[in-house]
Structure 1
């Protein structure tokens, strides 16, 4: 690293921790990752985990801006939710308890009263996306374990909705009778898109169509790549059916990476949408930089 960082940006999720050594202008000097996510740490273990990951970056006092599950009730310290509608980055940070040479400010999550919903970490992605795309209005889709549809207008989060789609896929494919049919690294794109169309057209039939994957594996020779892809398609299609008003006829951008970005974009495109795409990590980092600038 060519110089001591002015501050450290941190994205601390349930499973992983990622940190960037930053200049005051928002340039990345170095980065590091760890598997010490919030889910395996007690409150007094967060500071040692962060110091271990960033050892060597600085020997003096340092400022840290963090987002994600580090601010959850089970995290380092709870960062109270800000309410929507409102800006993705509300005023003020929650300061985590630490030794004096470490100044950690945690970005608050967002909460919605009716219907009840919450987010932590995604608000920073939204802020970063809007910083990179000024005056952008429409719907942001953040696929993942808990996909989020987020309506943004005039630089504010208007409303959002979260589903269990990704978590359901993991549970069904790993802990139900479907595991015997979908255990594979293969993929059948045609089966995926057919599943999306079926889930979108008949969301009320989801429970029956899920079991039919197993039955067709036994009776009709449905192969694991097709079974796995159909399962994913049915769940995503059902999610699309519930969120129809959020994407149909709307400007949509999908923030993600890898297969998640590709599958959700393909599902939307198959329904006639024209989703834009953005890298989720770049959006997170841009959001952390925006939070740093506002805290000065």
Structure 2
């Protein structure tokens, strides 16, 4: 296998790697569960080699890494780039010394914002992919997840962004709060979700009462667990949309996320009359890494 370079997305729980040809095509995709949360700094190089040592040859092979490998608790801290900025490129990447001379590792930095204080690591590479693949895109990138990001993009730059802990709040409330007795682990109700989004946007200040209402309705009226799940999601996404309104109002929004969460955000935004462009998160990550590699080739 004639590997020209290696693209890596190093998350908290998983490591994803693509073996790349010189023409930018993917020769092979590999993954493991050796994410940042399971590693010490000395573990990173062996974890990487375990997935690619068989194709390294004589080297050196450039390795472009995004994500949590550059966090303070990661392989080596890649300092944040402050907004407004273009998404981090190869010139701002941190080159990490390796014991194996066949590896030439470059870790892309994250992006930070001073006021209001905010940070992202990994999402900036997906945003780089949006800019690289959507010619002239000027609007908002919404990246649903545990910590959902909203980023204003203009003239190829990240102008500002904001993070919402909506996914984490949903997990905590549905699994560890009193609502765990009422919210099913799966299932869905489209009407309940849409009604909850509208209710939360119109009266976000009533969220705490509406949340307990899920428990009360389950006890008194036998509220179905799947309906409760959809309503909980709608309430939380609804208050997020209420707070993020300056980002999406009158804008085109590119939603980049896993199918289930991205579907929910697309439904909620479309109901508000927002034009939504759906983009695949893996494709955007890889496109961002490819753009960073192209910059490295030009240096």
TM-score normalised by the chain length of structure 2? 0.96
Runs of 5+ consecutive residues of structure 2 not aligned to the other structure: none
1:51 is aligned to 49
CA distance in 1, matches of 2:165, 2:108: 24
| Equivalent in the alignment of 2:167 | 166
CA distance in 2 between counterparts of 1:94 and 1:14 reads: 19
Q: Quote the offset at 1:250 in angstroms.
A: 0.9
| TM-fit CA distance, 1:209 | 0.9
Q: CA deviation at 1:132?
A: 0.4
CA offsets 1:9-28 (integer angstroms, 9 cap, x no match): 00001111100000122110
* Aligned-partner SS, 1:136: coil
The answer to whether structure 1 residue 202 and structure 2 residue 200 are counterparts is: no
Q: Report the alpha carbon displacement of residue 260 of structure 1 after superposing the two structures with TM.
A: 1.1
How far is 1:248 from its partner?
A: 1.1
- Residue by residue over 1:7-50, the C-alpha shift from the partner in whole angstroms, topping out at 9 and shown as x without a partner, is 10000011111000001221100000111110111110111111
Q: What residue number does 1:97 align with?
A: 97
The C-alpha deviation readout for 1:202-225, integer Å capped at 9, x for no partner, is 111111111111111001111000
Q: Which runs of 5+ in 1 are unaligned?
A: none
1:58 & 1:101 partners in 2: Cα distance? 7
Task: Please state how far the C-alpha of 1:97 moved relative to its aligned partner.
Answer: 3.0
Q: Which residue of 2 aligns with 1:180?
A: 181
| CA displacement at 1:102 relative to structure 2 | 1.2
CA distance in 2, matches of 1:272, 1:179: 33
CA RMSD in angstroms, aligned pairs only: 1.0
Corresponding residue for 2:116?
A: 115
| Inter-partner Cα distance in structure 2 for 1:193 and 1:280 | 24
Q: CA deviation at 1:57?
A: 2.3
User: For 1:5 and 1:106, how far apart are their aligned partners in 2?
Assistant: 19
Helix, strand or coil at the partner of 2:27: strand
Match of 1:143 in 2: 144
Would you say 1:79 and 2:78 are equivalent positions? yes
Question: Could you tell me whether the CA contact under 8 Å between 2:251 and 2:275 is conserved in 1?
Answer: no
SS at match of 2:251: coil
- Give the distance between the partners of 1:266 and 1:291, measured in 2 at CA: 33
Q: CA deviation at 1:59?
A: 2.9
Give CA-to-partner distance per residue, 1:232-281, whole Å, 9 cap, x none: 00000000000011111111111123111111100101111121111111
**Any residues of structure 2 matched to 1:242-261 within 5 Å, and which?**
242-261=243-262
SS at 1:162 equivalent:
strand
The number of residue pairs the alignment matches comes to: 294
Kindly provide the CA deviation profile for residues 147-179 of structure 1, in whole angstroms up to 9, marking residues without a partner as x.
000000000000000010000001111111111
Query: Could you say which residue in structure 2 is the equivalent of 1:287?
Result: 288
Rounded to whole Å, the distance in 1 between the matches of 2:246 and 2:273 is 14
Secondary structure of 2:23's aligned partner: coil
Aligned to 1:23: 21
What is the rounded CA distance, in whole Å, between the counterparts of 2:238 and 2:206 in structure 1? 12
Per-residue CA deviation, residues 88-125 of structure 1 (Å, 9 max, x unaligned), is: 12432102231122111000100000000000011110
Q: How far is 1:56 from its partner?
A: 2.0
User: Secondary structure of the residue that 2:55 maps to in structure 1?
Assistant: coil
The residue that corresponds to 1:277 in the other structure is 278
